[in-house]
Structure 1
């Protein structure tokens, strides 16, 4: 049996007192290291050491951090870095007043009242292109107005979507490796996830991206109405999912909520996402799968082809289809979560 002497008790007592003196210091260090602000300041530098494609910013330097963020924006025609002429601060209010120019094709891009227009046809007055019905539908102001006023909530009823807050909690596990980086909320709609990303403080820059001007305006209005959301390090960009205006290997994470089935070409969109993700970057997406009893419907496969040709909306009949979509576009470590017809998928770009 071990014997404890008076001397050893005295020593233990002294050690306990000396250790307790450091507890406030250790507590403050712990709070600092695991706080969102720590990730925002030092995340870019930590990731820069693992990839030559990243731009390293000096921790604590807002100017250098903003310059690094601007270098992620690229011409959707040439994919060359855009020359920024405007407010040095990245924010919802400053970016629409900025002017960007491509150093190769010399095309000039500018913002309007609430977003930057970085589409190929930006600036055209007469020329325009019409998209499939599934894309044009979301450009209607009425649909943008209704999106968070019943439209998106209906997904829970018929599709098993858990709802924005629960979906955000589910995707946080997938996004842990890229906390502190830049995230794009692709096909952001009215910005419900954009606002959740911004309020979380987990990312150094949040980009709300959509092709619909009315959706971006609705997103802007919601952002301005919220008092507990920072307007800095948050920008709204109009862009084509198949021609993303970002430099290759420059983005840490991309989220696409309830969007894959609406893209004119899902493979073109996922391939572009794969291009802009840095090595180790994460793509998280949600959609729905028509399987189970629906798989016994006769001629369902040719029917969905007709639906896709007519409306531009894509129906997925199995998880295998989605896995192949991700892997054929260069992503690895595919995984998914199911809830009824709802599916959340995640994959990353190889390092």
Structure 2
């Protein structure tokens, strides 16, 4: 039995969602299903499951925070091992894990790039680096390898005439996001990838410029999804529907509410949850970057990364079929 056949069997008893514009579907889980969903958070940030719970979109589903994650790949690996029930990561990282045999399904997009929120590949104003051709031998800082920033860099270089051998001459350097600006300004890096509040603060201080951004390269796109284990979905179809539809409604809420209202809500959530976090970073939130309404997933948001991963030999041709690794079945906005 294949992964998608297994998933479909597990969903065979789930009624189709009744979608009314602006209205919620029932979020109560049938008797016998778990109503507690374990997850990891991010320090100083509000993730969509937390926002959904705060807005009352999860009904009687309760979230259990088990700690903070260090990266998307770590988060979805924790979901695979059963340490958490839901995890989120860059779609290229999801592809790598699925290719390795992980029984997971992507259910809703949760971050991406647009004109307001994107990943910039920054250099100092006085840097001689002006384009892709100048990057041979350059040290490029990023939060982790084998994920969003490295895959975007690979596509950028490939589109500018680099062979895979040439690409290997560009050195990815793992740098904690909080150290990325200082590492660039001190000369430890030639290029530093920065996003969100870190990028906004660095730009405000001046003296740096983006060599390119992922938005300039690829246009607006959702970049990462929340995933669930297939056995969780099969055992808890009602909870799955309540959880995913609630998250989708939270995504849509950020897409349709005024910016200041979203920032104020995030700030209030962080203060009330009592994890001893700084709320200043939230003020730099610009948008979710999610392309599809309510986080609905599109084929392109996986196929663009799969093409690069196959081209570079990371994933064997035919090892992953994009339509089989995600579902919009639970998303009322799909």
Q: Normalising by the residue count of structure 1, what TM-score does the alignment of the two structures yield?
A: 0.25
Q: Normalising by the residue count of structure 2, what TM-score does the alignment of the two structures yield?
A: 0.26
